[in-house]
Homo-oligomer: A and B are copies of this chain.
Amino acid sequence: MAGYHQLFIPGPTNMPDRIRSAIDRPMENHRAPDFGELTLPLLEDLKKVFKTEHGRVFVFPGTGTGGWEATITNTLSPGDTVLAARHGQFSDQWIQLCQAHGLNVRVCDRSWHEGAPVQQFAEILQADTDHEIKAVLTCHNETATGVTSDIAGVRRALDDAGHPALLFVDGVSSIASLDFRMDEWGVDAAVTGSQKGFMMPTGLAIVAVSPKALEAAKTSKLGSFYFDFQRNGMSHQNGFFPYTPATTLLYGLRESVNMLLEEGMDNVAARHNRLAEGVRKAVDAWGLSLCGNDPALHSDTVSTVMVPEGVDGGAVVRHAYERYDMALGGGLGPLAGKVFRIGHMGYVNEVMLLGALAGVEMALNDCGAAIQPGSGVAAAQNHFRAAGAATAMAAE
């Protein structure tokens, strides 16, 4: 099959050549005297991506799931209570992880069309006057549903209740793409992986941790060694790791952070918004709707599109893959068959996205959805042309 494979899943995302080149290098000694020249500034610069000054960043060979595990096992003890909402595949898995580690999870079950229930959280926290809840877990961007939750709102709920629980955020498909403000929002642990907004291959868990969480790590009773904050932190001080780190990926991460900071995190977020808005205009033009029931929470990194009655979302994804060499995301869990997902995170531009929308139009039509050919493309074009002109003007 000729032509580049088209990757429009919500992670892994398209890898820039700058990053690919940075990774493609020989191995080296991770205990060399000058190894810290790579790692120390990198760990420092990563803080800018999370918008934290007070926090500390850990980078493990692992994935976002590993980052969750690091967060939980470093800060909590068996039997501790945590508060979490279940409104998508990934918020659900985090709950499962907590349960596997013997935590008591107070689960708020919500529709998969909603974000984290800020109001419900607020009520529970107000009622928890004994402060049994040790941590609140929130998924900033549910990759399964394309719903972005209101982390600032959760922080307000904690503050309004005067509640000391830690605030842990799954930022796997938000950090390095969406506006994320660790310090301002009072986030105590923010978890992500390398293969989303960082535009890298999978393989690194990246976790930013507040001083409060590091303090909690001193008394945590859950076992932890590979992901141990204290053991890693001791090594990190000199730019080293207590195990052999994934040096090639660290060089990739260095280049990724360079690219992000060169653009500026606010510009990165604005770019994601501009591109996502084009996709949303296309979905509107097709007469379809997004999974999230509140437009204010529609994600700028992934759009989960409801397929029309009678069309199988899974078939659309398979057909796009086999016939048009294009990878879309399928529906997970209860959304299986009912949606497909378009990832528009990371290294994407207008022309790539218009190609993707055109491909989606063909796949939808081939699978029985009567979409006006070119309609979504035209709507996105109009948005991109207008938004671009605005950007150009602003830059003058």
Contact = CB atoms under 8 A, between A and B. Distances in A.
A378 interface: yes
**Size range of the chain A interface in the assembly:** 35 or more
Contacts of A144: none
Interface stretch (A117-125, A157-165, A322-330): A322-330
A267 to B, nearest CB: 10
Contacts of A378: 372-375, 377
A3 B349 contact: yes
Contacts of A3: 14, 347-352
B5 A26 contact: yes
A259 to B, nearest CB: 8
Interface string A9-26: 101111111001101111
Given A1-B349, A7-B28, A349-B2, A100 B225 contact: yes
Contact of A96 (B20, B73, B225, B248): B225
A264 interface: no
Contacts of A375: 374, 378
A96 B230 CA distance: 14
A325 B351 contact: yes
Interface stretch (A42-50, A180-188, A357-365): A357-365
Interface in A331-369: 346-359, 361-362, 365-366
A341 to B, nearest CB: 11
Contacts of A140: none
Counting chain B CB atoms within 10 Å of each CB, which of A324, A326, A353, A358 scores highest?
A358
B201 A27 contact: yes
Interface string A309-328: 00000000010011111110
Contact of A2 (B12, B324, B348, B392): B348
Interface string A374-388: 111110011011001
27 contacts: A3-B352, A4-B26, A4-B349, A7-B26, A7-B27, A14-B26, A17-B25, A29-B321, A61-B61, A61-B204, A62-B62, A63-B244, A64-B243, A66-B243, A68-B225, A73-B223, A102-B223, A203-B203, A203-B248, A203-B249, A323-B388, A325-B351, A351-B358, A352-B355, A354-B359, A362-B381, A373-B378
Interface of A: 1-7, 9, 11-17, 20-21, 23-33, 60-66, 68-69, 73, 96-97, 100-102, 193, 195, 201-205, 222-226, 228, 242-249, 263, 271, 318, 321-327, 329-330, 346-359, 361-362, 365-366, 372-378, 381-382, 384-385, 388, 392
